[in-house]
Amino acid sequence: MSNVDDLNPYEAPKETNTTKRIKKKKAVEDDAPHDPSIDAIVFSLQRTRPWITLFGTLCFLGAVGLVVFGLYMTKMGPDYNPAYWVGAFIAYITLAILYVVTGIRLFRYRDSIKQVIASDGRLDFIATAIERQREFWAFVGVVTVVLLGLYLLLILGGFMFAFSR
């Protein structure tokens, strides 16, 4: 049976076999005490970086797909009505721009994680990485609130249009 103290979720992370990093040889004057919790943070950021790269790349591919699909939709409009294809193209370009901005923010976060790893876990680089992560989630939060508002307006407009007949 394990000890209750071993499973304290409020305790600082401890270095385990899975969180140990290969330590570079340092000069004698650089041999400051190393904090295991910083090692755990750097390890977690290092394991997160490939996923950030994947989603950032998918954002850019999605933006290209939206532009291509927007161009395709300009040819599919009813009787080539200019108002239809201009409106559809503007909607797809707007969504593509949102995808590009999201991808840029993800790659900025990924690059700051690279700096954390290269600096061997300096706190100022960790703080920058966490700030980039905050900026990304703040942007996603604002876009989500705006899109939910637009969805609500579209649904209410649809109901008003349907019941006005």
Q: What is the pLDDT of residue 144?
A: 95
Q: Rounded to a whole number, what is the largest CA-CA distance in the chain? A: 83
Q: What is the pLDDT of residue 91?
A: 87
Say what the alpha-carbon torsion angle 140, 141, 143, 149 is, to the nearest 10 degrees: 150
* CA dist., res. 101 & res. 139, Å (int): 9
* CA dist., res. 14 & res. 34, Å (int): 12
* CA dist., res. 118 & res. 108, Å (int): 15
What does each of the 165 residues of the chain score in pLDDT, given as a tens digit? 455 556 666 676 666 666 555 555 554 445 455 788 888 999 999 999 999 999 999 999 999 999 998 888 777 766 666 777 777 788 889 999 999 999 999 999 999 999 999 998 899 999 999 999 999 999 999 999 999 999 999 999 988 988 887
Q: What is the pLDDT of residue 71?
A: 84
* CA dist., res. 38 & res. 75, Å (int): 55
| Residue 139, both tokens | 């942007």
Domain ranges of the chain: 38-160
Q: What is the pLDDT of residue 28?
A: 44
